[in-house]
Chain A
Amino acid sequence: MATYLEFIQQNEERDGVRFSWNVWPSSRLEATRMVVPLACLLTPLKERPDLPPVQYEPVLCSRPTCKAILNPLCQVDYRAKLWACNFCFQRNQQLLLPNLSTPETFFRGARSPLIFLYVVDTCLEEDDLQALKESLQMSLSLLPPDALVGLITFGRMVQVHELSCEGISKSYVFRGTKDLTAKQIQDMLGLTKPAMPMQQARPAQPQEHPFVSSRFLQPIHKIDMNLTDLLGELQRDPWPVTQGKRPLRSTGVALSIAVGLLEGTFPNTGARIMLFTGGPPTQGPGMVVGDELKVPIRSWHDIEKDNARFMKKATKHYEMLANRTATNGHCIDIYACALDQTGLLEMKCCPNLTGGHMVMGDSFNTSLFKQTFQRIFSKDFNGDFRMAFGATLDVKTSRELKIAGAIGPCVSLNVKGPCVSENELGVGGTSQWKICGLDPTSTLGIYFEVVNQHNSPIPQGGRGAIQFVTQYQHSSTQKRIRVTTIARNWADAQSQLKHIEAAFDQEAAAVLMARLGVFRAESEEGPDVLRWLDRQLIRLCQKFGQYNKEDPTSFRLSDSFSLYPQFMFHLRRSPFLQVFNNSPDESSYYRHHFARQDLTQSLIMIQPILYSYSFHGPPEPVLLDSSSILADRILLMDTFFQIVIYLGETIAQWRKAGYQDMPEYENFKHLLQAPLDDAQEILQARFPMPRYVNTEHGGSQARFLLSKVNPSQTHNNLYAWGQETGAPILTDDVSLQVFMDHLKKLAVSSAS
Chain B
Amino acid sequence: MNVNQSAPPVPPFGQSQPIYPGYHQSSYGGQPGSAVPPTPYGAYNGPVPGYQQTHPQGVSRAPPSSGAPPVSTAQAPCGQAAYGQFGQGDIQNGPSSTVQMQRLPGSQQFGSPLAPVVSQPAVLQPYGPPPTSAQVTAQLAGMQLSGAVAPAPPPSGLGYGPPTSLASASGSFPNSGPYGSYPQGQASPLSQAQGHPGVQPPLRSAPPLASSFTPPASGGPRMPSMTGPLPPGQGFGGPPVSQPNHVSSPPVQALPPGTQMTGPPVPPPPMHSPQQPGYQLQQNGSFGPAGGPQPSYGGPYPGAPNFGSQPGPPQPLPPKRLDPDAIPSPIQVIEDDRNNRGSEPFVTGVRGQVPPLVTTNFLVKDQGNASPRYIRCTSYNIPCTSDMAKQAQVPLAAVIKPLARLPPEEASPYVVDHGESGPLRCNRCKAYMCPFMQFVEGGRRFQCCFCSCVNDVPPQYFQHLDHTGKRVDAYDRPELSLGSYEFLATVDYCKNNKFPSPPAFIFMIDVSYNAIRTGLVRLLCEELKSLLDYLPREGGAEESAIRVGFVTYNKVLHFYNVKSSLAQPQMMVVSDVADMFVPLLDGFLVNVNESRAVITSLLDQIPEMFADTRETETVFAPVIQAGMEALKAAECAGKLFLFHTSLPVAEAPGRLKNRDDRKLINTDKEKTLFQPQTGAYQTLAKDCVAQGCCVDLFLFPNQYVDVATLSVVPQLTGGSVYKYACFQVENDQERFLSDLRRDIQKVVGFDAVMRVRTSTGIRAVDFFGAFYMSNTTDVELAGLDGDKTVTVEFKHDDRLNEESGAVLQCALLYTSCAGQRRLRIHNLALNCCTQLADLYRNCETDTLINYMAKFAYRGVLNSPVKTVRDTLITQCAQILACYRKNCASPSSAGQLILPECMKLLPVYLNCVLKSDVLQPGAEVTTDDRAYVRQLVTSMDVAETNVFFYPRLLPLTKSPIESTSEPPAVRASEERLSNGDIYLLENGLNLFLWVGASVQQGVVQSLFNVSSFTQITSGLGVLPVLDNPLSKKVRGLIASLRAQRMRYMKLIVVKQEDKLEMLFKHFLVEDKSLSGGASYVDFLCHMHKEIRQLLS
Q: How far is B630's CA from A239's CA once the two chains are assembled, in angstroms?
A: 12
Q: How far is B580's CA from A178's CA once the two chains are assembled, in angstroms?
A: 11
Given A157-B583, A159-B583, A188-B556: A172 in contact with B573 (beta carbons within 8 A) = yes
Let me know if B571 and A238 touch, CB within 8 A.
no
Q: How far is B567's CA from A233's CA once the two chains are assembled, in angstroms?
A: 9
Let me know if A169 and B568 touch, CB within 8 A.
yes
Is A240 on the interface with B (CB-CB < 8 A)?
A: yes
Least CB distance, B579 to chain A, in whole angstroms: 6
Let me know if B586 and A168 touch, CB within 8 A.
no
Ordered by A's residue number, 24 sampled pairs between the chains whose C-beta atoms are within 8 Å are A157-B581, A157-B583, A157-B584, A165-B571, A167-B601, A167-B609, A168-B571, A168-B605, A170-B570, A170-B571, A171-B570, A171-B571, A173-B559, A173-B573, A174-B574, A174-B575, A178-B576, A188-B556, A190-B575, A233-B567, A233-B570, A238-B587, A239-B585, A239-B586
Is A499 on the interface with B (CB-CB < 8 A)?
A: no
Residues of A in contact (CB 8 Å), total: 24
Let me know if A188 and B609 touch, CB within 8 A.
no
Q: Which A residues lie within 8 Å of B576 (CB)?
A: 174-175, 178, 180, 188
Is B572 on the interface with A (CB-CB < 8 A)?
A: yes
Given A168-B605, A168-B609, A238-B587: A175 in contact with B579 (beta carbons within 8 A) = yes
10 cross-chain pairs, A with B, having the tightest CB-CB distances, nearest first? A188-B575, A173-B583, A238-B586, A170-B571, A172-B573, A173-B572, A169-B570, A175-B581, A173-B574, A168-B571
Q: Please give the residue numbers on chain A whose beta carbons come within 8 Å of chain B beta carbons, in ascending order.
A: 157, 159, 162, 165, 167-175, 178, 180, 187-190, 233, 235, 238-240
Q: Chain A residue with minimal CB distance to B606?
A: A168
Least CB distance, A219 to chain B, in whole angstroms: 22
Q: How far is B574's CA from A276's CA once the two chains are assembled, in angstroms?
A: 23
Let me know if B584 and A238 touch, CB within 8 A.
yes
Q: Please give the residue numbers on chain B whose beta carbons come within 8 Å of chain A beta carbons, in ascending order.
A: 556, 558-560, 566-576, 579, 581, 583-587, 601-602, 605, 608-609
A173, A187, A233, A239: residue with the most chain B Cβ atoms closer than 10 Å: A173
Q: How far is B602's CA from A725's CA once the two chains are assembled, in angstroms?
A: 75
Least CB distance, B652 to chain A, in whole angstroms: 12
Q: Chain B residue with minimal CB distance to A180?
A: B576
Let me know if B586 and A189 touch, CB within 8 A.
no
Q: Chain A residue with minimal CB distance to B556?
A: A188
Q: How far is B584's CA from A188's CA once the two chains are assembled, in angstroms?
A: 18
Q: Chain B residue with minimal CB distance to A170?
A: B571
Q: Which B residues lie within 8 Å of A187 (CB)?
A: 575
Let me know if A233 and B571 touch, CB within 8 A.
no
Q: Which B residues lie within 8 Å of A233 (CB)?
A: 566-567, 570
Contact of A178 (CB < 8 Å), options: B571, B579, B584, B608: B579
Contact of B569 (CB < 8 Å), options: A168, A173, A188: A168
Q: How far is B774's CA from A591's CA once the two chains are assembled, in angstroms?
A: 60
Given A238-B584, A239-B585: A171 in contact with B575 (beta carbons within 8 A) = no
Q: Chain B residue with minimal CB distance to A169?
A: B570
Least CB distance, B784 to chain A, in whole angstroms: 30
Least CB distance, B749 to chain A, in whole angstroms: 28
Let me know if B581 and A170 touch, CB within 8 A.
no
Let me know if A167 and B605 touch, CB within 8 A.
yes
Q: Which A residues lie within 8 Å of B560 (CB)?
A: 168
Contact of A168 (CB < 8 Å), options: B570, B574, B583: B570
Q: Which B residues lie within 8 Å of A190 (CB)?
A: 556, 575
Q: Chain B residue with minimal CB distance to A184?
A: B576
Q: 15 more A-B contacts (CB under 8 A) besides A165-B571, A238-B585?
A: A159-B572, A167-B605, A167-B609, A168-B568, A168-B609, A171-B570, A171-B571, A172-B573, A173-B574, A188-B575, A189-B575, A190-B556, A233-B567, A233-B570, A240-B585
Contact of B572 (CB < 8 Å), options: A165, A171, A180, A235: A171
Q: Which A residues lie within 8 Å of B609 (CB)?
A: 165, 167-168
Q: How far is B634's CA from A239's CA once the two chains are assembled, in angstroms?
A: 10
Q: Which A residues lie within 8 Å of B572 (CB)?
A: 159, 170-173
Q: Which B residues lie within 8 Å of A180 (CB)?
A: 576
Q: Chain A residue with minimal CB distance to B584?
A: A238
Q: How far is B569's CA from A169's CA once the two chains are assembled, in angstroms?
A: 7
Q: Which A residues lie within 8 Å of B581 (CB)?
A: 157, 175
Q: Chain B residue with minimal CB distance to A174?
A: B576
Q: How far is B558's CA from A168's CA once the two chains are assembled, in angstroms?
A: 12
Q: Chain A residue with minimal CB distance to B572?
A: A173
A168, A169, A174: residue with the most chain B Cβ atoms closer than 10 Å: A168
Q: How far is B569's CA from A645's CA once the two chains are assembled, in angstroms?
A: 51
Q: How far is B782's CA from A647's CA once the two chains are assembled, in angstroms?
A: 72
Q: Chain A residue with minimal CB distance to B574?
A: A173
Q: How far is B434's CA from A152's CA once the two chains are assembled, in angstroms?
A: 61
B567, B570, B608, B609: residue with the most chain A Cβ atoms closer than 10 Å: B570
Least CB distance, B958 to chain A, in whole angstroms: 57
Q: Which A residues lie within 8 Å of B583 (CB)?
A: 157, 159, 173
Q: How far is B1076's CA from A324's CA once the two chains are assembled, in angstroms?
A: 69
Least CB distance, A53 to chain B, in whole angstroms: 46
Q: How far is B572's CA from A167's CA once the two chains are assembled, in angstroms?
A: 14
Q: How far is B558's CA from A189's CA once the two chains are assembled, in angstroms?
A: 13
Q: How far is B865's CA from A272's CA once the two chains are assembled, in angstroms?
A: 66
Q: How far is B569's CA from A233's CA once the two chains are assembled, in angstroms?
A: 11
Q: Which B residues lie within 8 Å of A239 (CB)?
A: 585-586
Q: Which A residues lie within 8 Å of B585 (CB)?
A: 238-240
Q: Which A residues lie within 8 Å of B569 (CB)?
A: 168
Q: How far is B559's CA from A423's CA once the two chains are assembled, in angstroms?
A: 57
Least CB distance, B1071 to chain A, in whole angstroms: 55
Q: Which B residues lie within 8 Å of A168 (CB)?
A: 560, 568-571, 602, 605, 609
Q: Which A residues lie within 8 Å of B584 (CB)?
A: 157, 173, 238
Q: Which B residues lie within 8 Å of A165 (CB)?
A: 571, 609
Least CB distance, A162 to chain B, in whole angstroms: 8
Q: Which B residues lie within 8 Å of A178 (CB)?
A: 576, 579
Q: Which B residues lie within 8 Å of A238 (CB)?
A: 584-587
Q: How far is B201's CA from A171's CA once the two chains are assembled, in angstroms?
A: 75
Q: Chain B residue with minimal CB distance to A157?
A: B583
Q: Which A residues lie within 8 Å of B556 (CB)?
A: 188, 190
Q: How far is B560's CA from A238's CA once the two chains are assembled, in angstroms?
A: 14
Let me know if A171 and B573 touch, CB within 8 A.
yes
Q: How far is B587's CA from A189's CA once the two chains are assembled, in angstroms?
A: 23
Q: How far is B576's CA from A187's CA once the two chains are assembled, in angstroms?
A: 9
Let me know if B586 and A169 touch, CB within 8 A.
no
Least CB distance, B228 to chain A, in whole angstroms: 70
Q: Chain A residue with minimal CB distance to B614?
A: A193
Q: Which B residues lie within 8 Å of A167 (CB)?
A: 568, 601, 605, 608-609
Q: How far is B584's CA from A187's CA once the two chains are assembled, in angstroms?
A: 22
Q: Which B residues lie within 8 Å of A173 (CB)?
A: 559, 572-574, 583-584
Let me know if A172 and B566 touch, CB within 8 A.
no
Least CB distance, A487 to chain B, in whole angstroms: 57
Least CB distance, A130 to chain B, in whole angstroms: 15
Let me know if B574 and A172 touch, CB within 8 A.
yes
Least CB distance, B52 to chain A, in whole angstroms: 74
Least CB distance, B364 to chain A, in whole angstroms: 48
Q: Chain A residue with minimal CB distance to B567?
A: A233
Q: Which B residues lie within 8 Å of A169 (CB)?
A: 568, 570-571
Q: How far is B43's CA from A594's CA once the two chains are assembled, in angstroms?
A: 100
Least CB distance, A3 to chain B, in whole angstroms: 66
Q: Chain B residue with minimal CB distance to A171?
A: B572
Q: Which A residues lie within 8 Å of B601 (CB)?
A: 167
Q: Chain B residue with minimal CB distance to A229?
A: B567
Q: How far is B632's CA from A260's CA once the two chains are assembled, in angstroms?
A: 31
Least CB distance, B521 to chain A, in whole angstroms: 15
Q: Which A residues lie within 8 Å of B574 (CB)?
A: 172-174
Least CB distance, B359 to chain A, in whole angstroms: 51
Least CB distance, B598 to chain A, in whole angstroms: 10
Least CB distance, A197 to chain B, in whole angstroms: 13
Q: Chain B residue with minimal CB distance to A188?
A: B575
Q: How far is B196's CA from A444's CA once the two chains are assembled, in angstroms?
A: 109
Q: Which B residues lie within 8 Å of A162 (CB)?
A: 573
Q: Which A residues lie within 8 Å of B579 (CB)?
A: 175, 178
Q: Chain A residue with minimal CB distance to B569?
A: A168
Q: How far is B583's CA from A173's CA once the two chains are assembled, in angstroms?
A: 6
Q: Chain A residue with minimal CB distance to B581?
A: A175
